[in-house]
Amino acid sequence: MEPRTLFQKVWDDHVVAQEPDRPAVLYIDLQLIHEVTSPQAFTGLRERGLQVRRPDKTIATMDHSTPTLPKALWVIDDQAKAQLGMLETNCKEFGVELFALGDSRNGIVHVIGPERGFTQPGKTIVCGDSHTSTHGAFGALAFGIGTSEVEHVLATQCLLQRKAKTLEVRVDGQLMPGVTAKDIILALCAKIGTHGGTGYVIEFTGSAIRALDMEARMTVCNMSIEAGARAGMIAPDETTFEYLKGRERVPQGADWDAAVERWTQLRTDEGAKFDKTVVLDASKLEPMITYGTNPGMGMQISETVPRLDSFDDFSQQAAFEKSMLYMGLEPGQALLGQKIDVVFIGSCTNSRISDLRMAAGVFSGRKVAEGVRTLVVPGSHDIKKQAESEGLDQIFKEAGAEWREPGCSMCIAMNGDNLEPGEYAVSTSNRNFEGRQGKGGRTFLASPLTAAAAAITGKVTDPRSLLLS
């Protein structure tokens, strides 16, 4: 047999049918749904008189518009309340398991999938959310879909898909202290741009990727979409199996051994060809930060913002100028020392326990700078509990940060957690688009270490200066 890539193997395993001149009918092993992109899909099912084909392969959570204040202070606007209510009704009517607001298993969709063991190597996983690429960290083929496709999968457990091209992103070498998985993926976005991966599924390979733990691998795969690729994958290995073993929804006993045996085959064969390869040297990476209004507009934290003549074509120059105007920055200026107003630590990119531990390491024994509002938002109730058992919540609170309930929160600013016009934030989330964190808000994307360092100093700061002292 021809040598195959990891993507090709998972793809081949799931093709139900393929007619000439038609997209493949691809079987989906798991669909995750949430309140925002599912209502119209269920309405469609009702209009056509269809059922959910496999409720047992469908999991729902509430995360996008949920409040993160303590329960006593919950305020949900009427529209959000209606949307949450509709998810509850839909799940009940169609027999879908729901981790509702208030449930101890509730959390961000891309956090609870892996945490509860729904996410497994070799699965095809979809969700009406572009950061579904997160689950690729386990060697699953996972990608975001629109609401029409949510309905397709609810009705048939299948999707019509054209096969993507493959892009290998090889990251070799050892990360320096203070440089994290977030910096790897921001460096990739800066290198290939937000359109560089369009039409591709990325496979991340190389010694630096192998050295990452599962949570760090999720951070990397999560932002594949920010480089334009719908999916990012990492071949499963001992690190993957170690993470999954004993989790609620993974096979147990003899089934577990059989699963590991199967999963071990999920790697790109020697001699398999990728359509394209991009190489990064981990040992040369520094903490990254974005300066503009898309995740590809990023640089090493000690660098200066590009100048107009760094861009060759007119439309790129126009986009750059527009972003400078929005961000209130000058071409060629340094970002180190830039005053900030808000720090957001959370989102499906960086809200897991290792992210919180990293941030707590910087906060420990220090105080948040005066005038800086700092939100720490765990990705799930499990993570919240774990953090509290380790005393991380106390570290955050003593430093002057707000310790919140789980949810997407200020990453998408649908729940009342948002920036005010003109405010600058250092955020561990994934998008710095205009208005993403609140109308007029200005976002610098960075790692949890860099975000925590900014909270302490009130300025964009190289976290290594605080780690060493």
Binding site for other proteins (CB under 8 A): 16-17, 21-23, 25, 27, 36-37, 39-40, 43-44, 48, 53, 64-65, 77, 79-80, 82-83, 86, 128-130, 132, 144-149, 151-152, 155-160, 162, 194-195, 198-199, 228, 230, 294, 296, 315-316, 318-319, 322, 412-414, 431, 433-436, 439
In angstroms, how far is CA 86 from the centroid of its own chain? 25
One-letter identity of residue 11? W
Q: How far is the CB of 441 from other proteins (least distance, A)?
A: 11
Residue 242 makes CB contacts below 8 A (sequence gap 6+) with: none
Nearer Cβ to other proteins (262/397) = 262
Q: How far is the CB of 341 from other proteins (least distance, A)?
A: 19
Nearer Cβ to other proteins (21/370) = 21
φ/ψ of 255, rounded to 5, equals -65, -35
Q: How far is the CB of 127 from other proteins (least distance, A)?
A: 8
Nearer Cβ to other proteins (180/415) = 415
DSSP at 70: -
DSSP at 172: E
Write out the DSSP string of 7-28: HHHHHHHHEEE--TTS-EEEE-
Residue 111's nearest CA partner among 409, 396, 403, 401 is 409
Q: How far is the CB of 415 from other proteins (least distance, A)?
A: 10
Cα(196)–Cα(200) distance, rounded to whole angstroms?
9
Write out the DSSP string of 376-440: E--SBHHHHHHHHHTTHHHHHHHHT-EE--SSSGGGTT-SS--PPTT-EEEESSS---TTTTSTT
Nearer Cβ to other proteins (57/464) = 57
One-letter identity of residue 402? E
Write out the DSSP string of 286-312: --EEE-SSSTTSEEETTSBPPPGGG--
Nearer Cβ to other proteins (197/463) = 197
Q: How far is the CB of 321 from other proteins (least distance, A)?
A: 10
Give the ranges where 196-309 is alpha helix by DSSP (H): 207-210, 214-222, 238-244, 253-263
Q: Tokens 């497994």 label which residue?
A: 120
Cα(155)–Cα(244) distance, rounded to whole angstroms?
29
Q: How far is the CB of 254 from other proteins (least distance, A)?
A: 16
Q: How far is the CB of 34 from other proteins (least distance, A)?
A: 11
Nearer Cβ to other proteins (66/338) = 66
Nearer Cβ to other proteins (52/466) = 52
Nearer Cβ to other proteins (250/358) = 250
Q: Tokens 């063991």 label which residue?
A: 117
Cα Rg for the chain, rounded, in angstroms?
21
Nearer Cβ to other proteins (71/162) = 162
Residue 383 makes CB contacts below 8 A (sequence gap 6+) with: 107, 111, 115, 351, 352, 353, 356, 406
Q: How far is CA 403 from CA 76, 298, 371, 400, in A?
A: 19, 28, 17, 9
Q: How far is the CB of 145 from other proteins (least distance, A)?
A: 6
Q: How far is the CB of 311 from other proteins (least distance, A)?
A: 10
Q: How far is the CB of 331 from other proteins (least distance, A)?
A: 17
Nearer Cβ to other proteins (129/183) = 129
Q: How far is the CB of 263 from other proteins (least distance, A)?
A: 15
Residue 229's nearest CA partner among 311, 138, 136, 150 is 136
Nearer Cβ to other proteins (297/426) = 297
